[in-house]
Amino acid sequence: MSFISSRVYIILFLLIFFTKRLLIIIFSERNFLSNTQTFEYLSHNFFELFLFNHTIPNGHLILEKILSIFSLNFDLVFYLLNLSYSLFLCFFLNDVLKKLSNKKNIRFYILILVSTCLLTYETWRINHHDHINLFIFSYLSWAIFNFTLYNKNFNHIIISLVLLNLFYTLAFVISFLIFFFLIIGNLLNILKTQKVHHIKIFSVLILIFIIFSKNYISSSNFGPTSMGGANLIQRTIHAIGEDKYKKLIEYRKEIFPTWWMLITNEILEKNEKIELVDTRIANLAHGSLDSKILKNFEMQKKIINQNILLNDEIWKIIKKDEMILMNNLSFYSYGYKQNLISTSYQSFGKRIFFEACKIYPKDLLVGKIGNKGIFLTILQMTSNAGLLPNYYERNLKYSNNSIKYFNNILRFVIITVLIITPFILIEIIKYKKINKKDFLYLTILLSLLSCIITTSIITCCENPRMLVMQFFSIVLLCSMNLNYLSDYIKNKKK
């Protein structure tokens, strides 16, 4: 098929890509045109909601505000956006594959396989705020690829980092990591940055500071969102188990405020009547006494008022909660529905996590089947090779036996190719002098490992799904592995 022109390949790919998606819309049991949900909560006080929101990144809120202007169908709009994210990923992938190996027919088959395996992710929780990150991470990796090898597209690195900080909680970690690699690249005389590049980097740092400061004003948490503490509490309980968590809290109760212990004891008492373990853990992580936010606040306030003299800090939080719940209850229509007492409650997540590391290090770092520690979480996260697992939330996505079959094939290929990564690293280290290609490889690999490790430390339940956002980097790493292997074989034959 080498005689076929690139233009024909593009037309064929687009035809197959959109035909598959159209068939899903037509034949799927889910009616993409039936959802009448609107963006009513954006109609009033958008700016106040933007300033108040602290549970998820504000980028999605901005996106929904823009979409609300056109009064389009909720599900259909987000599904089409998800298709565009996959299409951009394929565009970026085609560009890097072309530069690594100019074999049109191989690129075509790879793109068809990749686009097929993305079908289930496109239909999973269509309006979930993580979907756009598939595009942003692909965009960032593509920009890094071109800047490292060809000294171009630096502006695209900055744009992608700005977008990432608007849409992804751990974007500040990625940003600092990329800036670190840029500094190292300059010191090794591999990359060439100018003064204007440094100014642009500084602008991203300012954006990160503004986001952190905004969230501190609204929730007293200096960070990208206020949910990090809840994630760490969940991570701790999943690793050590509920019984050991109770013992940990009781053993170290002197390091927690009295009001925090009172709410925790009440939650533990209520949890005894709840059968679902996920619900029990969520209650402990979020400081929840009731699923209805107003009732939850009243119960929390009653417990605190009846048992202790209020200190200034918790008194201010209660007063602020009362003001928002009485006057701006609509603020809780967006993001995770939790009041400020719950936000303050879960801010002790870091303390709980570090205490668990001291008392139950083996459980937290390794764990066991059923109670996964960080190491087992990393294994689970990487076992699906960046593809949405076939078992994951089956009722919330479209899938069939053919897609599952292609998923399993691609997963096997990716894992097999990644096995040679240590060999590639040894070869790079052995030659000592690192060139641009080696530096790019190390940047992609270490960035990917950092994301996997950081995510596995903070979370424990949805890690395989979260790795889908890094799918482009995984495929790029595999492509570079094969490229290195090909060069190695050629050199051996000489």
Give pLDDT tens digits for 456-470.
988 877 778 899 999
Does a structural domain hold residue 454? yes
Let me know if 26 is exposed, middle or buried by CB neighbors in 10 A (0-12, 13-18, 19+): exposed
Of 329, 349, 370, at which residue does a domain stop? Answer: 370
For residue 1, is pLDDT > 60? no
Model confidence over 414-425: pLDDT tens digits? 999 999 998 888
User: 9: which 2 tokens?
Assistant: 């390949």
Q: 39 or 235: whose pLDDT is higher?
A: 235
Q: What pLDDT is recorded for position 32? A: 58
For residue 163, is pLDDT > 90? yes
Pair (388, 437) in one structural domain: yes
For residue 353, is pLDDT > 90? yes
Average pLDDT over residues 228-251: 91
* Torsion-angle region of 241 (φ positive above 0: left; ψ -120 to 50: alpha; else: beta): left
CA distances (Å), 62 to each of 49, 129, 429, in order? 11, 11, 45
Q: What pLDDT is recorded for position 67? A: 81
Pair (136, 244) in one structural domain: no
What sections of 400-435 are H helices per DSSP?
401-418, 421-431
Pair (205, 238) in one structural domain: no
Does a structural domain hold residue 315? yes
Nearest to 146 by CA among 421, 435, 437: 437
In percent, how much of the chain has pLDDT > 70?
Answer: 92
Does a structural domain hold residue 270? yes
Pair (137, 29) in one structural domain: yes
Pair (90, 203) in one structural domain: yes
Of 350, 370, 390, at which residue does a domain stop? Answer: 370
Pair (182, 233) in one structural domain: no
Pair (243, 288) in one structural domain: yes
Q: 320 or 133: whose pLDDT is higher?
A: 133
User: 25: which 2 tokens?
Assistant: 């819309």
Q: What pLDDT is recorded for position 493? A: 66
Q: What are phi and psi of 401, to 5 degrees?
A: -65, -35
DSSP letters of 100-125?
Answer: H---HHHHHHHHHHHHHHTHHHHHTT
Work out how many domains the chain is built from and give that number.
2
Q: What pLDDT is recorded for position 489? A: 80
Q: Provide the CA 114 distance to its chain's centre, in angstroms.
A: 20
Model confidence over 354-413: pLDDT tens digits? 999 999 999 888 877 767 788 888 888 888 889 998 888 888 888 888 888 999 999 999
Does a structural domain hold residue 394? yes
Pair (338, 385) in one structural domain: no
For residue 268, is pLDDT > 90? yes
Pair (37, 140) in one structural domain: yes
Query: What does DSSP assign to residue 399?
Result: -
Q: Which residues contact 319 (CB under 8 A, 6 or more apart)?
A: none
Pair (200, 244) in one structural domain: no
The distance in angstroms from the start CA to the end CA of the chain is 30
Model confidence over 29-69: pLDDT tens digits? 666 555 555 566 666 678 888 888 888 888 988 888 888 77
For residue 350, is pLDDT > 90? yes
Q: What pLDDT is recorded for position 372? A: 78
Does a structural domain hold residue 1? no
Q: 156 or 42: whose pLDDT is higher?
A: 156
What sections of 220-311 are H helices per DSSP?
228-240, 242-251, 258-271, 277-286, 293-307
For residue 132, is pLDDT > 90? yes
Q: Which residues contact 57 (CB under 8 A, 6 or more apart)?
A: 129, 165, 166, 167, 168, 169, 171, 211, 224, 225
Structural domain including 344 reads: 228-370
Q: What pLDDT is recorded for position 211? A: 93
Pair (317, 461) in one structural domain: no
Average pLDDT over residues 246-257: 91
pLDDT category of residue 104 using cuts at 50, 70 and 90? confident
Q: Which of 89-98, 275-284, 467-476 has the lowest mean pLDDT?
A: 275-284
Taking the CA atoms of the chain, what radius of gyration do you get in angstroms? 24
Q: Which of 174-183, 217-226, 311-320 has the lowest mean pLDDT?
A: 311-320
Pair (347, 460) in one structural domain: no
Q: What pLDDT is recorded for position 33? A: 55
Does a structural domain hold residue 235? yes
Does a structural domain hold residue 179? yes
Q: Which of 136-150, 215-229, 253-267, 304-318 has the lowest mean pLDDT?
A: 304-318
Of 347, 370, 393, at which residue does a domain stop? Answer: 370
- DSSP lists the bridge partners of residue 367 as 372
Does a structural domain hold residue 25? yes
